[in-house]
């Protein structure tokens, strides 16, 4: 079956989630990809939503705080959902962002600096708590120079801060970004320096093309090609998009 690069992105992001994990789901791509994972390879995935819903059974999930999730049988307070993060019970923070830097810090607050921004964005929502306290973070965004920058204008959600041990020194004892899923490739992070490192490319995408659309030099290791979407993945994805 033919597919678009955006569909490849949704599928690649869904594959990062493992069965029986607890995932705190952000808006946009994470919302769709988490539902896709649950429909395919991870039926026992437990999804948490910022509005207070835990693992809604409805397939008509349009937002993380909409009535379709808040009317579900397991609906708790904001405090109880965030408490799960604080207790280390969340495996994955699944978020997006407008800017990402070489150490996986994410900006979804303001472009051009906080005091006098060129553009004011949606802000943190739950993303800061998610990226700070989950066992690992998966980030999704399109591959563009304006998004992949040397240093974000504002740290909404902490990655590895300045690299190395900075995250632990700041008091964040666990977690950190594990993968960045784009519409062209997948990045991971160097074990010691915590810098972005190219892990794999989508079918038909070259490393040179990725470099052209990234605002800094990144580490290139043993790069693999991502398997294209299966027929099952595409059919399930098209039911919910």
In this predicted structure, what is the pLDDT of residue 58? 52
Domain count, the chain: 1
Task: Tell me how far apart the alpha carbons of residues 221 and 241 are, in angstroms, rounded to a whole number.
Answer: 34
Nearest to 155 by CA among 173, 143, 172: 172
Token pair in block for residue 86: 């604080």
pLDDT grade, residue 190 (50/70/90)? very high
Any idea which residue has 């580490």 for tokens? Answer: 219
pLDDT grade, residue 42 (50/70/90)? very high
Has residue 59 got a pLDDT over 90? no
pLDDT grade, residue 73 (50/70/90)? low
Q: What is the CATH number of the domain that holds 120?
A: 3.40.1080.10
With beta carbons less than 8 A apart as the criterion, state whether 59 and 240 touch: yes
Phi/psi at 98 (5° precision): -85, -35
pTM, two decimals, is 0.91
List of residues 6+ apart from 134 with CB closer than 8 A: 24, 85, 90, 91, 92, 93, 175
Task: Tell me how far apart the alpha carbons of residues 113 and 179 are, in angstroms, rounded to a whole number.
Answer: 26
Report the mean per-residue pLDDT for the chain: 91
With beta carbons less than 8 A apart as the criterion, state whether 103 and 194 touch: yes
pLDDT grade, residue 228 (50/70/90)? very high
Task: Tell me how far apart the alpha carbons of residues 29 and 141 are, in angstroms, rounded to a whole number.
Answer: 8
In this predicted structure, what is the pLDDT of residue 125? 84
With beta carbons less than 8 A apart as the criterion, state whether 108 and 98 touch: yes
User: What is 176-213 written as a DSSP string?
Assistant: -EEEEE-SSEEEEE-TTT--EEEEEE-TT--HHHHHHT
Q: How far are the Cα atoms of 4, 115, 215, 217 from residue 20, in angstroms, in the given order?
A: 29, 42, 36, 36
The domain containing residue 235 runs over which residues? 5-240
The pLDDT > 70 percentage for the chain reads 91
In this predicted structure, what is the pLDDT of residue 209? 97
């Amino acid at each position: 079956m033919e597919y678009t690069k955006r569909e490849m992105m949704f599928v690649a992001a869904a594959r990062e989630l493992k069965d029986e994990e607890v995932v705190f789901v952000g808006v946009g791509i994470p919302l769709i990809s988490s539902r896709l994972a649950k429909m395919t390879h991870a039926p026992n995935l437990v999804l948490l939503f910022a509005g207070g819903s835990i693992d809604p059974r409805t397939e008509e999930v349009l937002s993380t705080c909409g009535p379709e999730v808040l009317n579900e049988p397991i609906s708790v307070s904001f405090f109880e959902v965030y408490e799960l993060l604080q207790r280390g019970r969340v495996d994955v923070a699944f978020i997006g962002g407008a800017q990402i830097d070489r150490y996986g810090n994410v900006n979804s607050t303001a472009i051009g600096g906080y005091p006098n921004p060129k553009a004011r964005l949606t802000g943190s929502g739950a993303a800061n708590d998610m990226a700070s306290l989950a066992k690992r973070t998966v980030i999704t965004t399109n591959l563009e120079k304006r998004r992949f920058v040397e240093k974000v204008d504002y740290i909404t959600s902490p990655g590895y801060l300045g690299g190395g041990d900075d995250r632990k020194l700041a008091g964040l004892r666990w977690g950190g970004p594990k993968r960045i899923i784009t519409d062209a490739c997948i990045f991971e992070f160097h074990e010691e320096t915590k810098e972005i490192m190219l892990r794999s490319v989508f079918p038909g995408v070259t490393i040179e093309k990725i470099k052209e659309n990234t605002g800094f030099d990144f580490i290139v290791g043993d790069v693999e090609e991502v398997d294209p979407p299966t027929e099952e993945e595409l059919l399930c994805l098209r039911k919910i998009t």
